[in-house]
Structure 1
Amino acid sequence: MTPAKVKYRIPLEELADEKGITYVFDRGYVDYNAYDQFCEDKIFFVT
């Protein structure tokens, strides 16, 4: 977790890398290509 004031963006692939886990993302991390890959890799998420 980072404070809201942080101005950098961590790639989603660095945050979500375990299959079978459900991740929760802030809307600031919207990356549809990454979400598509998560679905293919059976990585679950809520945003």
Structure 2
Amino acid sequence: MNLDEFYQKLEEHWKKSDRDSRIIVWGGLGFMAVWLFVYAFFSL
């Protein structure tokens, strides 16, 4: 599977999914980003 197909599937899934699942996904991504930032900061 190439990237274009992957993005197309992701977009289709995104349109089907409701707002709540988007909030969960973005919340999880934000949490991971913050955690990685803190981890990198303290490991320096």
Tell me which protein shows more strand as a share of its residues.
1
Larger RCO (CA under 8 A, 6+ residues apart)? 1
Q: Which structure has the greater CA radius of gyration? A: 2
| TM-score after normalising by structure 2 | 0.34
| TM-score after normalising by structure 1 | 0.32
